[in-house]
Amino acid sequence: MHIYSVTDPEFKPYGKVLEGYDTAELIRAMNAIALPETGTAYKPGIDSLEACEIFGELRDRAYGGMPVQLGMCWGRNTKLNCLEYHRDSEVNLGSGDFILLLAKQDEIEDGVLDTGKVKAFRVPAGVPVEVWATTLHYAPCHVNEAEGFRVAVVLPRGTNTEKPEYTAKNEEDRWMTARNKWLLAHPESNEAKNGAHIGLRGRNIDIKEDI
């Protein structure tokens, strides 16, 4: 699979690089958190990250003063497994280089996305990127298995917490798995086995041989 850079023009439909942020303090705080022994971990908000000066800047500049949370996804991963979207942009920033597997919401047809439409983008260490609300994404991928990945995740506060209670009245309502999180799962994924909407068709992409 070809891996583009977020500085390539191919990234423009999916997001943009954010400029003018000092990320050094946040990277130190991220690196102080140990990697899980296997797989990945995610926490919507982490106190030690939100104590960094950049948290206020991202809230006020990237999100226009709206309440946000600063958490992290970290571990080791090379597979697609699922794609999700929110009703707003997500900002990601890695302590090292990492790779995002992305597609577009308007490529979903009848509740299903063909994984052949997924593209891979490498994000340089310390570079914040905004991923549009219309961009499908999920867990980052590492570029070095020994080092894994640590990726800060900035979202409106409350996102990815407990799913609201409601009666589903359309197809999309059935895709929600957490607050402000709509999920398309590959049949091979654990999420699908746990009841998530099977919305990915085709190969469950694995970039292990491409990095």
Global pTM reads 0.97
List, as one string, the DSSP characters of 72-118: EEEE---B--EEEE-SS-EEEEESS-EEEEEEEGGG-BTTBEEGGG-
Residue type, 148: G
Among residues 47, 37, 102, the alpha carbon closest in space to that of 69 is found at 47
pLDDT at 91: 98
The mean pLDDT value for 110-126 works out to 98
pLDDT at 114: 98
| Per-residue pLDDT tens over the stretch 133-145 | 999 999 999 999 9
Quick one: how far is CA 47 from the chain centroid?
20
Q: With bands split at pLDDT 50, 70 and 90, how would you rate the model's confidence at 45?
A: very high
Intra-chain end-to-end CA distance of the chain, in Å: 9
CA atoms of 82 and 208, how far apart (whole Å): 17
The mean pLDDT value for 142-152 works out to 97
pLDDT at 152: 98
pLDDT at 203: 98
CA atoms of 171 and 2, how far apart (whole Å): 33
| Per-residue pLDDT tens over the stretch 68-94 | 999 999 999 999 999 999 999 999 999
Domain ranges of the chain: 3-77+89-160
Residues of the chain with pLDDT > 70, as a percent, come to 100
pLDDT at 19: 97
| Per-residue pLDDT tens over the stretch 173-188 | 999 999 999 999 999 9
Options 2.60.120, 3.30.420, 2.30.130, 3.30.70; which CATH number does 3-77+89-160 get? 2.60.120
H-type alpha helices, the chain: 24-31, 47-50, 53-57, 190-193
pLDDT at 106: 97
Can you read off the two tokens belonging to residue 38? Answer: 């296997």
Which residues partner with 186 through β-bridges?
none
CA angle (21, 66, 185) in 5-degree steps: 85
Residues of the chain with pLDDT > 90, as a percent, come to 100
pLDDT at 163: 97
pLDDT at 204: 98
Reported residue count of the chain is: 211
pLDDT at 42: 98
Question: Could you tell me the strand order of the sheet in which 15-17 lies?
Answer: 15-17, 129-131, 90-94, 149-156, 68-75, 40-43
pLDDT at 95: 98
pLDDT at 51: 98
